């Protein structure tokens, strides 16, 4: 039942993310004649150049890139990506008439960038990708540890910069601004989704605290042997990694058991292991 709920949730996230993605393109980027990066950038270029439907371009080009993803990424990610691509094409067709022609194209670039970052964040939360440069970015993330949003920005610029031939130099610069904003928003969303906190706790009641945190966090707690440099007394040091949302509860639990405990709290960018998350 839990597996079925996860599948339904991920499909729903990919479908919703695809809607936001399509609105960013149809409602803000295309009306202001802004480009994009990767396959989406090629999609807008073909539209400006020969009027080729973005929904069809999305299916064709991303279908080709899926063969690369099938070899390099997990089959689960690829299958959810197929859902995302099909949903994007569906929404691109359905929302093609929803356009906002803003007087200032910079505003369109900012709004479009924010929406694109949010859309990709939602889709990746649903374990999918938008294919295109996202697949390449996922591969760079998996094998080289580069942040997904940053890797996407690099690949997207390879398409965005030459697009000035069709959209003009000024719009090309605005496109780069939009890509940068989307990369920043995506990185922030991914960090929020998998935010972790690491606690290092030194206390005379280490066993009691460890048991309480284990019940609260439902993950393993590590006890390390140590001793005070000045006192020479042996100490048990607790090391615990938990979700960011549990930070306040963990601090309260420690204070209830031992108000004199020494606690060091760190933000965790990445964690590997059982039930933990990979690099962003």
Neighbours of 237 (CB within 10 A): 17
Task: Find the mean pLDDT for residues 259-276.
Answer: 73
The full 3-state SS of 216-249, as one line of letters, equals: HHCCCCEEEEEECCCCCCEEEEEEEEEEHHHHHH
What distance in Å separates the CA atoms of residue 57 and residue 64, rounded to the nearest whole number? 11
Evaluate if residue 114 carries a pLDDT over 70. yes
pLDDT of residue 279: 44
The first and second tokens of residue 249, run together, are: 């509860």
Q: Give how many domains the chain has, as a whole number.
A: 2
Evaluate if residue 192 carries a pLDDT over 90. no
In this prediction the pTM is 0.69
At residue 275, φ and ψ (nearest 5 deg) are 65, 15
Residue pointed to by tokens 């398409």: 159
Residues 142 and 25 in one domain: yes
Range of the domain at 175: 2-193
**Higher model confidence: residue 223 or residue 147?**
223
List pLDDT tens digits, range 200-236: 999 888 889 988 888 887 666 888 888 877 777 888 8
Choosing from 142, 177, 193, the residue where a domain stops is: 193
- For residue 103, give the DSSP letter: S
**Higher model confidence: residue 185 or residue 190?**
185
Q: How far is CA 95 from the centre of its chain?
A: 24
Closest alpha carbon to 203 in 257, 129, 128: 257
What distance in Å separates the CA atoms of residue 116 and residue 82, rounded to the nearest whole number? 18
Evaluate if residue 269 carries a pLDDT over 70. no
- For residue 146, give the DSSP letter: -
Residues 120 and 241 in one domain: no
Residues 166 and 217 in one domain: no
Residues 243 and 143 in one domain: no
pLDDT of residue 24: 93
Residues 109 and 223 in one domain: no
Mean pLDDT computed over every residue of the chain: 82
- Contact predicate 184/66, CB 8 Å: no
Domain assignment present for 274: no
State percent of the chain over pLDDT 70: 90
pLDDT of residue 220: 65
Residues 30 and 84 in one domain: yes
Choosing from 193, 221, 245, the residue where a domain stops is: 193
Choosing from 193, 219, 249, the residue where a domain stops is: 193
- Contact predicate 45/35, CB 8 Å: yes
Residues 174 and 252 in one domain: no
pLDDT of residue 47: 81
Residues 150 and 210 in one domain: no
Residues 172 and 229 in one domain: no
Residues 232 and 95 in one domain: no
Evaluate if residue 280 carries a pLDDT over 50. no
- CATH label of the domain that carries residue 231: 3.30.70.120
Domain assignment present for 13: yes
Length of the chain, in residues:
280
Residues 15 and 60 in one domain: yes
pLDDT of residue 165: 79
pLDDT of residue 57: 77
List pLDDT tens digits, range 58-106: 777 777 777 766 766 677 877 888 888 889 889 988 998 988 888 889 9
Domain assignment present for 46: yes
Domain assignment present for 279: no
List pLDDT tens digits, range 154-187: 877 877 777 777 788 898 899 889 988 988 898 8
List pLDDT tens digits, range 1-13: 466 888 899 999 9
């Amino acid at each position: 039942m839990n597996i079925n709920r996860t599948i339904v949730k991920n499909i729903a996230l990919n479908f919703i993310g695809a809607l936001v993605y399509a609105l960013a393109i149809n409602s803000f980027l295309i009306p202001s004649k802004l480009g994009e990066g990767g396959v989406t950038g090629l999609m807008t270029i073909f539209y400006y150049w020969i009027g080729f439907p973005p929904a069809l371009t999305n299916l064709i080009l991303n279908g080709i890139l899926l063969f690369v993803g099938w070899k390099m990424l997990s089959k689960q990610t690829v299958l959810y990506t197929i859902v995302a691509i099909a949903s994007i094409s569906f929404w691109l067709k359905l929302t093609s008439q929803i356009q906002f022609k803003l007087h200032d194209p910079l505003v369109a670039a900012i709004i479009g960038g924010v929406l694109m970052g949010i859309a990709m964040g939602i889709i990746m939360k649903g374990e999918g990708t938008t294919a295109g440069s996202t697949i390449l970015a996922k591969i760079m993330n998996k094998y080289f540890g580069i942040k997904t949003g940053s890797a996407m920005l690099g690949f997207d610029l390879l398409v965005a910069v030459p697009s000035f031939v069709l959209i003009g130099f000024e719009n090309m610069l605005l496109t780069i601004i939009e890509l940068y904003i989307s990369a920043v928003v995506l990185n922030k969303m991914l960090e929020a989704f998998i935010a972790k906190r690491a606690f290092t706790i030194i206390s005379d009641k280490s066993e009691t605290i460890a048991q309480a945190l284990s019940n609260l966090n439902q993950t393993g707690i590590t006890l390390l042997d140590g001793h005070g440099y000045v006192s020479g007394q042996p100490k048990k040091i607790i090391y615990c990694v938990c979700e960011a949302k549990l930070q306040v509860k963990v601090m309260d639990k420690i204070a209830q058991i031992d108000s004199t405990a020494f606690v060091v709290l760190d933000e965790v960018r990445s964690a590997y292991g059982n039930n933990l998350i990979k690099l962003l």
